[in-house]
Amino acid sequence: MFWKRWGAALDRLPAKAGLPLGIGLGALAGALLLLTPAAVWVPAFLVLFTAAGVLAWSGEPVEALPAPPPRVEPAAPVPDQKTVLASIELVSIPAGRFLIGSPEEEEDHRSNEEPVHEVGISAFLCMKTPVTRRLYADVMGTDPGWPEDDAADRPANIVSWFDAVDFCNRLSEREGFIPCYERAEDEVTWHREANGYRLPTEAEWEYACRAGTNTRWSFGDDEQRLSDHAWFRDNSEGQPRPVGRKQPNPWGLRDMHGNVWEWCWDRYGAYEPAFAQDPAGPPKGRGRVVRGGSFDFPARDLRSAFRNWVRPVLQYWYIGFRCVRVPRRQP
């Protein structure tokens, strides 16, 4: 370690200093040889000889470079509100009741999808596609997504649940709505009376995905048709794809199956069997629900009933989100 630091120090010397320093070390060694006893000059001579060798071995000395100045991030441009508004398409989802979950006889059924039980859903507006990276950058001033090429129409990804919550609030403020969420560090409160953008509940998500169907996917049970409706492991070539390129479900929503998993409001937990109107999940839980499957997951994980969860602080390239809000006029 000493010689490494010594060599590094020598490398910082200007090139012209090498010759005088070498001559000086040699003269000092000679003086020690003539004026001191052998017990003293022999060890000292070896130290100085080694130092001179380090100087010679260090090659052409280079001048130390100054430390780079601290990086100053440019201020995010203020997006044009008209541009943001033009890139949002909302689909009106009617109020109704449906059976959430899947029966045991459904192929690839999982135990956390039961019991099948009835849920009531109030009318709401739902984004036609997941939030794109263009929209996310317009609203938040940054694009954390992957991959880098042809990014604008790909779904926003590498965003945590908290990032999605912050986006909902920012977009609500930009459009003059009352934000739905109040955030204090990692504690988020949902004010249901607010009219701004928010994440769908798990029940709202499945209701919108099924669009009145009770089959494995919103188009039916035939896995051979999945490529017409979704990006998944078999056809995505390992990356998220521009949104809206596959066929919509019966209510006109696109990419509900595949492309990216979508964050929901709910904490993950077991289903309660009793009927519930507009349920919002358990009060406690380790993770937040994600739904829909993604570009690098198999067909079975894209089923309408399939449930998964992720810790809300995590960011993955296969997770994005879409927003919902209450209708402008309640039915």
Q: Are residues 21 and 152 in the same domain?
A: no
pLDDT digits (tens, 9 = 90+) for 111-134: 999 999 999 999 999 999 999 999
For residue 57, the model assigns a pLDDT of 33
Tokens of 148: 């880098």
Q: Within this chain, do residues 10 and 114 fall inside the same structural domain, yes or no?
A: no
Does the pLDDT value for residue 46 go beyond 50?
Answer: no
69 assigned to some structural domain? no
Total tally of structural domains belonging to the chain: 2
- Residue 65 forms part of a structural domain: no
Query: Region 181-197: what's the mean pLDDT?
Result: 96
* Residue 159 token pair: 């965003």
Same domain, 101 and 246: yes
Q: Identify the domain containing residue 111 by its residue range.
A: 81-325
Q: Does 59 score more than 90 pLDDT?
A: no
Alpha helices in the chain (DSSP H): 2-11, 18-35, 38-57, 81-86, 133-140, 161-174, 202-210
Q: Average pLDDT for residues 283-292, to the nearest whole number?
A: 95
* Residues 11 and 140 reside in one and the same domain: no
Q: At 128, which CATH number?
A: 3.90.1580.10
> 155 lies in a domain?
yes
Q: What is the pTM of this model?
A: 0.75
pLDDT in tens, 161-172: 999 999 999 999
Task: Report CA 258 to chain centroid distance, whole Å.
Answer: 16
Pair (53, 92) in one structural domain: no
Give the per-residue pLDDT at 37: 54
Whether residue 190 sits in one domain with residue 46:
no
Are 34 and 174 in the same domain?
no
Virtual torsion, Cα 218, 125, 188, 194, nearest 10 deg: -160
Instruction: Tell which residue, 20, 29, 14, 27, has the closest CA to residue 63.
Output: 14
* Residues 143 and 38 reside in one and the same domain: no
Q: Is there a single domain that holds both residue 35 and residue 144?
A: no
| pLDDT at 245 (0 to 100) | 97
- Is 63 domain-assigned? no
Judge if 28 and 98 occupy the same domain. no
pLDDT: is 131 or 69 the higher one? 131
Domain assignment present for residue 227? The answer is yes
Q: Which residue has the higher pLDDT, 87 or 96?
A: 96
At 329 the pLDDT is 55
Q: Indicate if 122 and 21 belong to the same structural domain.
A: no
| Assigned domain for 200 exists | yes
Query: Which pLDDT band holds residue 149 (cuts at 50, 70, 90)?
Result: confident
- 68 belongs to a structural domain: no
Q: What's the pLDDT at 71?
A: 31
Check pLDDT > 50 for residue 93.
yes
Residue that finishes a domain, picked among 41, 57, 73:
57
> What confidence tens digit (pLDDT) does each residue in 199-224 have?
999 999 999 999 999 999 999 999 99
Tell me which range, 27-31, 227-231, 284-288, is most confidently predicted by mean pLDDT. 227-231
Q: How far apart are CA 178 and CA 171, in angstroms?
A: 10
Question: Does residue 52 lie in a domain region?
Answer: yes
* C-alpha distances out from residue 52 to 194, 276, 295, Å: 76, 84, 62
pLDDT digits over 12-44, tens only?
333 344 444 444 444 444 444 445 454 444 444
Claim to verify: residue 186 and residue 292 sit in the same structural domain = yes
- Which of the pair, 97 or 79, is modelled with greater confidence? 97
Residue 80 has pLDDT above 70, yes or no: no
